[in-house]
Amino acid sequence: MWGTVIAVLGTLAGVALASAAQVRSERRTRREQQRDALSSAVEQVLGALETYRELHWLLIADTRAGDEDTREARATRYRARTEVTRARDRLALLTDDPALTAAADAAVEEAIRLSYISVGRAVDGRFADHVEADLAAGRRSTKEAHNVLRRAATDHVHRRGPRRGRA
């Protein structure tokens, strides 16, 4: 009789151990899938921001050269801005990390703020001094916001706390 009880207990323990291992494996797989989806979403935000900024700086270069903005170029910039919003929304659906969402919001705001710089006409390939200063500041702030977002995403994806000593 004791042999049967021990055999049954051994079988139950084996089933419990196998079930626990399966649950743990499924959780690990789910975490990896979530991390991959989040990484992809951040890549989309960063890529959409890069495209949007590239189109903005092409507009600035064209304006410096005296070229007029075209309807097609505006439509392309508007589509790029829509892609920024779409990518940001996807990221928001995948995470509730306030550091990551704040960094994404800041990067989006800085990039879109570029379009609010009124450049006027260029003379000999240059804008007024205050416009040139605003453009330089915009370039710096968008790059920094982009880097902050990338670092926040790296910290989140690799489950680290914020990095110390980095701006």
Q: How many CA atoms, within 13 angstroms, populate the side-chain half-sphere of residue 143?
A: 7
Can you tell me the distance from the alpha carbon of 43 to that of 57, in angstroms, rounded to the nearest whole number? 21
- pLDDT tens readout for residues 78-134: 999 999 999 999 999 999 899 999 999 999 999 999 999 999 999 999 999 999 999
The C-alpha angle 33, 39, 41, rounded to 5 degrees, equals 105
Amino acid of residue 69? D
- What CATH number was assigned to the domain covering residues 39-157? 1.20.1440
Whether 63 shows a pLDDT value over 80: the answer reads yes
Tokens 């990484």 belong to: 39
Q: Which of 66-80, 89-103, 135-149, 153-167 has the lowest mean pLDDT?
A: 153-167
Quote the pLDDT of residue 159.
72
Residue 156: pLDDT band (50, 70, 90) is confident
Residue 163 has pLDDT above 70, yes or no: no
What average pLDDT does the chain have? 89
Q: Do 84 and 112 meet the contact criterion of CB atoms below 8 Å apart?
A: yes
Q: Per-residue pLDDT averaged across 29-36, rounded?
A: 82
The token pair that represents 38 in the structure block: 């989040």
Q: Is the pLDDT of residue 7 over 80?
A: no
pLDDT (0 to 100) of residue 50:
98
Is the model's pLDDT at 55 over the cut of 60?
yes
Tell me the domain boundaries of the chain: 39-157
pLDDT attached to residue 160: 53
Q: Are the CB atoms for 51 and 80 separated by under 8 Å?
A: yes
Is the pLDDT reported for residue 161 higher than 50? Answer: no
